[in-house]
Amino acid sequence: MEKRSLGSLQVSVVGVGCNNFGARLDQAGTDEVVFGALDAGVNFFDTADIYGGTQSEVLLGNSLRNRRGEVVIATKFGMGGSGDTEFSSAPDYVRRACEASLSRLGTDYIDLYQLHFPDSDTAAEDTLAALHDLIDQGKVREIGCSNLNVEQLRQYKVAAGSKKSFVSVQNQYSLLARDPERDGVLEVCDEVGVGFLPYYPLANGWLTGKVDPNEPLPENIRLGTMSDDRKAHWHSEAIRSKVASLLAYAKEIDTPLLTLAFSWLLSHHEVASVIAGASSRSQIQANAAAATTLSAEVVAELNRLTA
């Protein structure tokens, strides 16, 4: 599988989002997904200290214990996953959260350590100082962030000075959620030297190709279990209409919608890896196989259909 750069890291263009581990999947289920990913050439696993009530890191670490040198493990801090105040990036919190994640993962280093959510109460310089200490100690290789806007990305870049700054930003992005284009985050990636990691690349299930917008939604998928306030958007006629148009176009060009969803994201050079969750070996292998190169004409039509 093709790999792209995140700082000094080389990550597969399809990654595994590990939020199902410890939530929907036990150790056996986690092993199935992880080993299926490795067999498909995937080397990038993205988790967080809050996933699965902290158990995602534990299960992932167990699965990868004998394959650690083959993979890139990313995890996150800052949303209360280590028993501290939510949305914290205070230096003491960063250090405690890192030690807790290392212990749960059963490893002595984290490849990509990410600020999960911005913290307006802590100066960027203070957070970065703690992260640089972790790098100097060999506990972290690269640092990244999630849910930051353009102003915040620039702020952290300036605060880093001559030292390492974030090499990645992880925000929601898909054919049905194109905010990173509109809010400027995608454009600023080259300016501040970060790779983009889209989360929810399949738009909560709409882009799997398995959901008919004209039929009742299955209850066992994210679309069927989300809160009422999110349903107002994701169940709207505007979204359903776009999905119907995408399904029709996928059929017209004889290409699975899953392939179009992944490959459209990868057509943006800023995107380093498309992170998607999976609950079975077949699902992660389908995700891995969905990464291909689209023609300029197909990309343009997908842009038109989802504008």
Which residues participate in catalysis according to the annotation?
51
Residue with tokens 């100097």: 136
Tell the burial category of 8 from Cβ atoms under 10 Å away from its Cβ (0-12, 13-18, 19+).
exposed
φ, ψ of residue 240 in degrees (nearest 5) = -60, -40
Q: In this structure, are strands 9-12 and 3-6 parallel, antiparallel, or unpaired?
A: antiparallel
- Exposure of 2 in the CB half-sphere (CA atoms within 13 A): 15
The token pair at 299 is 């990309």
Query: Distance between CA atoms of 82 and 1, rounded to whole angstroms?
Result: 34
| Whether the Cβ atoms of residue 115 and residue 90 lie closer than 8 Å to each other | no
Closest CA to 283 of 27, 11, 29: 29
